[in-house]
Structure 1
Amino acid sequence: MKEINYRHLYYFWVVAKEGGFSKAADRLGMAIQTISAQVRELEKSLGHQLFKPMGRSVTLTEAGHAAYARAEEIFQIGQRIAQEVKQAATGQAVRLAVGLSDGISKLAAHKLLGPALATPELRLLCHEGEFEPLMAELALHQLDLVLAGQPAPQNPNLRLSSQLLSSSAVGWYGPGTQVHKAQIDQFPHSLAQLPLLLPTHHSPLRASLDRWFEHLGIEPRVVAEFEDSAMMSVFGAGGLGIFPASLTGQDDLALMKGLKLIGECEVHEEVHAIYTRRSRHHPLVQAILQAP
């Protein structure tokens, strides 16, 4: 297969978006024959027909749909280049790339990122993932900061540092229609009779909760487990069960109408900020680390 000519790809993309060669010619101010010839060259280089006749117009073939999907991505990115270059050249945009370990409370993370969120022209990139891959991305400077439920690993090759940002008690919440006064009065033992939503076992919080249940002699009735704490909150608010959440994020949790706090437990959820020597000097990373 020959190397793709992106001018040919662009003409194909316009024809597909406009729904025919005639409309594409009007948009581009070119002759229909010229555009048709360019598209045929693209088909020749790809080795597949991209359009087929449909009445007096054309429609995409299966190969054409595949090509159009990629062309759409390419030219949408291209349309953003001018704006992003201008922002970078004028210093208008401040970029912060943050990794969120999938075991931590996203509501707590939102509050802890607060010192950076009010930055004018902020370009925030949030990536959720498992702890080890996030550490690799941070070490390769693909991320500026990672928020996780554990400190940086003791690995001299990674050269990562960390700071404890928050250690918050965990509260148990449920829809007000399912939470009764007797359950609040008998907390925490009332949890044994309630359907519970818990984080999955790879979360540091889950290990702490399991030890707490064992200490109290409670056999939890687990109806669902979630890697994403925000999703767990949504399902809990929807009536699936009672769920734990860091009190650090309770202001955001209050936005979910109808939730009621059953009680607070002795378990604490920690959130650590992990960073490299270079990213430590990022002004927004400094603002997050230095926040009271």
Structure 2
Amino acid sequence: MQSIGISDGLSMDRLNYQHLFYFWNVAREGSVTRASEKLRLAQPTISGQLAVFEDAIGAQLLRKEGRKLTLTEKGRTVYHYADEIFALGRELTNTLKGHAGAMGMRLSVGIADALPKLIVYRLIEPALNQEQQTQIVCHEDKVERLLAELTLHGVDLVLADTPATTAIGGRVFNHLLGECGVAVFSAPQLAARYCENFPNSLEGAPFLFPTPATALRRSLDLWFEQRRIAPAVRAEIEDSALLKTFAAAGAGLFVAPVAVTEAIERQYGVVNIGELDGVTESFYAITLRRKVDHPAITTILENARDWLVTP
């Protein structure tokens, strides 16, 4: 077997895949206890084998934070390789059972948690429907952490509402997918009250806003300030799907991209009150290379520009 250089300055002549398997399960479960229950092994066995593996690697792979184990930077690198290794193992098993090519191509996508879920699905959908079968793996997190994963080859692509800056990720490239306007939505029982004299009717209206750290929230705050309209902030909700769930129950108004108006109205039972003139939301695909050579990413880029407006 060829040597695998996982630790700086260390060349491993032989990788113990059993130890790698134990580590992979502990990382996935977040604790030795849950991993041992899943594998039906004693906790001391898992802990001992994990310690042996870290000694062989020459680096700490997991650290304790409260009651949970989290990956170190080196641990994330090893984990992502392990994920690929065991995914290939499952594919081999399927092939031997007569299901050749069951997994097809694989695409790991990092999704900024501020992005509307319906927009994310519409961006990724063409990759699911292309002729060559593609297995999509989605990871949702803060942009900064996703960019760190991108540079470590933990994900192939990051979808975000802001471009990566030099300070955040100097080795990555931004691909502007496009932008679209936003509209105000509400449950039907609130709509009649705010449709008339829109957008002045939004003065004092109960609003469900995204959190202040998002690009959309900054645009909204500026828009309301310029028009001297002061909505009542009922809640600030980070997860866009949870925000819409609150709104569907009549908790307040919210804004969302007009490009998915029909899907939002159908899924959440809300109605479009009106568009906010001048407010847009932008969407970016961030990759390690300027030239994209992954067929699924190329499909995502090409199709996005068919329905998003390019500034």
Question: Same fold by TM (over 0.5)?
Answer: yes
Q: How far off its partner does 1:216 sit?
A: 0.8
Q: Within 1, Cα distance between the matches of 2:182 and 2:173?
A: 26
The aligned counterpart of 1:267 is 279
Please tell me the root mean square deviation across aligned C-alpha atoms, in Å. Answer: 3.2
The aligned counterpart of 1:85 is 92
Instruction: Classify 1:221/1:252 alpha carbon distance in 2 versus 1 (closer, same or farther; 3 Å).
Output: same
Q: Secondary structure at the match of 1:113?
A: helix
Instruction: Classify 1:88/1:162 alpha carbon distance in 2 versus 1 (closer, same or farther; 3 Å).
Output: farther
Q: Secondary structure at the match of 1:241?
A: coil
8 A Cα contact 1:198 1:243, kept in partner: yes
Unpaired stretches in structure 2, ≥5 consecutive residues: 1-17, 22-36, 46-85, 307-311
The aligned counterpart of 2:28 is none
Q: Quick one: which amino acid aligns to residue 236 of structure 1?
A: A
Q: Quick one: which amino acid aligns to residue 235 of structure 2?
A: A
| 2:213 is aligned with 1:202 | yes
Q: Within 2, Cα distance between the matches of 1:128 and 1:45?
A: 33
Instruction: Classify 1:279/1:135 alpha carbon distance in 2 versus 1 (closer, same or farther; 3 Å).
Output: farther
Unpaired stretches in structure 1, ≥5 consecutive residues: 7-15, 18-38, 47-78
8 A Cα contact 1:103 1:202, kept in partner: no
| 2:257 is aligned with 1:250 | no
Question: Whose RCO is larger (CA < 8 A, sep 6+)?
Answer: 1
Q: How far off its partner does 1:171 sit?
A: 0.6
Instruction: Classify 1:231/1:88 alpha carbon distance in 2 versus 1 (closer, same or farther; 3 Å).
Output: farther
Give 1:186's match in structure 2, choosing from 197, 209, 216.
197
Give 2:156's match in structure 1, choosing from 144, 147, 152.
144
Q: Within 2, Cα distance between the matches of 1:118 and 1:112?
A: 12
Instruction: Classify 1:88/1:108 alpha carbon distance in 2 versus 1 (closer, same or farther; 3 Å).
Output: farther
Instruction: Classify 1:267/1:156 alpha carbon distance in 2 versus 1 (closer, same or farther; 3 Å).
Output: closer
Q: Secondary structure at the match of 1:207?
A: helix
Instruction: Classify 1:144/1:82 alpha carbon distance in 2 versus 1 (closer, same or farther; 3 Å).
Output: closer
Q: Within 1, Cα distance between the matches of 2:186 and 2:268?
A: 11
| 2:123 is aligned with 1:116 | no
Structure 2 length as normaliser, TM-score?
A: 0.64
| 2:141 is aligned with 1:134 | no
Q: Secondary structure at the match of 1:254?
A: helix
The aligned counterpart of 2:294 is 282
Q: How many residues align?
A: 226
Give 2:251's match in structure 1, choosing from 208, 227, 240.
240
